[in-house]
Structure 1
Amino acid sequence: EYHIPLDRPLLFSWGRAVEYKRFDIVLQAAARLKGQIHPVVMVIPRYERLIKLREELGIEASLVFAFDPELVACLLQWENTVVAASLAFNEPFGLTPAETRVHARKQGALMVVSNTGGLVEQVEDGVDGFVTRQDDPDDVARTIAHILEMSEEEKQRIRQAGLKRVLREYTWSSQILRTLAAVVPEIAAVAEEVREAIMSEEWETLWDAS
């Protein structure tokens, strides 16, 4: 239905069809990689600018003008999806890094984010994802090329660190316990023990069982 190849490494990006999301940079970066990776961009509503850009660049790219949450989840956890890119300019926060990491687990996409706004606060470059210049397709292409050359062991370390960061910082339980520890310093140690115990249990559910 969406003409997504089953035998190619994929670069996936998704969101609203607005200029600051920089889906144009996603296509331009893919073009610079000369067929090494196939871009899949899911946006709503229909975005004529991307259709025109795909034609101008002369590349194969899957443009999905519908929001399909099941397809998002499938692509993020699929082993063929090498990179999930969120290159928005000054996105206030955005949950795409957390969403990607929870779905990707042991085999899915690695996160590449813009070096502006709240996204960069959720990714430590080279440790649990990658940070790139959102206005520079050459820099984005270099980052993707680096990921394509990584060993599976190296990718696994990135995925593992990314999921641990989600469980440590972005679950409801971790947020509540961190807030309690800050408001009531006397219970900080206990709150941290509880947080670590919950994180360990969630880790077994999400990682060890995947």
Structure 2
Amino acid sequence: MQFSFTHGNTNLTNFIFGTISRLGFLNDLNYQLERPSSFDIINSPRGETQVAFSSDLTNALSSLNVEVEGFGSTDIELGVADFRITGGAADIDTGKVDIIHDGGLTLKAGEATVNLTDFIVTNLDNNPVITGAVIVNDDLVTRAPLFDLQIGSLGTSNLAGNPILNIDNIQATLTNDAANLLNQAFGVSAFTQGLDIGTAEVEALLR
């Protein structure tokens, strides 16, 4: 797996995954970010992570009669969920990110309700993952790694003078921890590690 960086004018060593990424260029923006490599991610209406759910996921949930809806500030429309970014940090040169979100997902079947909330996209342990708080029938159970990630590209762009962090082509799959939690909550064995959750992209305002 390799990050493709899109700022600057040099080759950077991506030591997270032990690869070398040749830099691309945002020619359409004609923009080069002059700054240190580390940024705070700020709470902004512009900042969000979008996840387009896979047919594997929707079919699996349908077969189990599990309904999914947005929790808190999260909306789901036409199979795409929007999660608002509320903070975090990013180092563009190393590719390290820690991105905090509001809202989440509610899964319901029978008398069981599972809320997966307050997602954090992180690769600080060199393992790209989304963690989340797990609440089952109003009881806070744990914070767990929920979705493993494979990330296609990470870069920066510019919008009206504001630096933007862009992470694209993120492939998300269910973790073993999440599968066990969901199976226990719904009394099934159908959730398995590696279930294709869908494709995500991140757009976050930096400072």
Q: Which has the higher contact order (CA 8 A, sep 6+)?
A: 2
Per the normalisation by structure 1, the TM-score is 0.25
> Which one has a larger percent strand, Structure 1 or Structure 2?
2
> Which one has a larger percent helix, Structure 1 or Structure 2?
1
